Structure 1
């Protein structure tokens, strides 16, 4: 296995404008992905934080992220999983492309940068597997949430 890039694609019964809000606004991100989400703005260079946990420790895992690109309603990308600064080779890059498709949106999510992190092979394999399994859960949740949101508008 290459462990280079994770890709997921899904059709969402919501407009690209709604889906863009769902992937770029903390109040929506908390509905389908992180337990807590903070983001100053959905603009390049903006810094945010994602947190997951349980009742005993609601912030047991926290990741900082930095918006790389925001082109509503077509693309939202961010760097995350970095120790010091989000630069090429020190972070993972998630890119979410949104394309109108019938009455909805085709969402294409790509996460890259795994090999460039310089992790030992066991760490690389585990991180790649965990992220792939995570997106298998969270991308369908995103689609369901965005469709529910669209049906209320």
Structure 2
């Protein structure tokens, strides 16, 4: 097993969240989605620079329109993989700017366990710099995971 070069010290940033979701897709499909296919369900197409290996850094961006007639806003995301256990665990750092983690290096841990024909997915996101940032992600992650499940089911067809 490869160890990460460094792990962020989040001890002074106690704002965390956990989301659990029963996914219809299998652990192997979800693992590939997080490590190889981010632009199939989350990132803007063509924006992903990623190699699914411990210590490998990545970049991608999302684009959101917060108001119906507002300008679409670009949101760069940066990070690196800390731990990878094929079809079971993905741990990565997650850094965004304003309206995100405000530049703080947070940690996202995705645990996957087979559950019938699908997967029980547990996502923990730790080390937010403030309650507002944590609350925004706590609201967003359930929608993101729903989108992940839907897009991966479509790709499997």
- TM-score, structure 2 as length reference: 0.73
Match of 1:98 in 2: 112
The Cα RMSD (Å) is: 2.6
More helix by share: 1
Match of 2:33 in 1: 22
1:105-137 C-alpha deviation (Å, 9 max, x unpaired): 1111110012xxxx4xxxx12211221122122
State whether residues 13 and 146 of structure 1, in contact with CA within 8 Å, keep that contact through their aligned partners in structure 2.
no
Match of 1:87 in 2: none
1:38-49 to structure 2, matched below 5 A, reads 38-49=48-59
CA distance in structure 1 between the partners assigned to 2:121 and 2:57 by the alignment: 23
Are 1:148 and 2:154 counterparts?
Answer: yes
State whether residues 35 and 50 of structure 2, in contact with CA within 8 Å, keep that contact through their aligned partners in structure 1.
no
Secondary structure of the equivalent of 1:113? strand
Between the two proteins, the alignment pairs up a number of residues equal to 134
Task: List gaps (5 residues or longer) in structure 1.
Answer: 84-89
Runs of 4+ in structure 1 over 4 Å off: 54-59
CA distance in structure 1 between the partners assigned to 2:63 and 2:137 by the alignment: 16
1:45-95 C-alpha deviation (Å, 9 max, x unpaired): 011112123699877221211111111010111102279xxxxxx510001
CA distance in structure 1 between the partners assigned to 2:54 and 2:61 by the alignment: 21
Secondary structure of the equivalent of 2:29? helix
Aligned mate of 1:31, from 23, 29, 40: 40
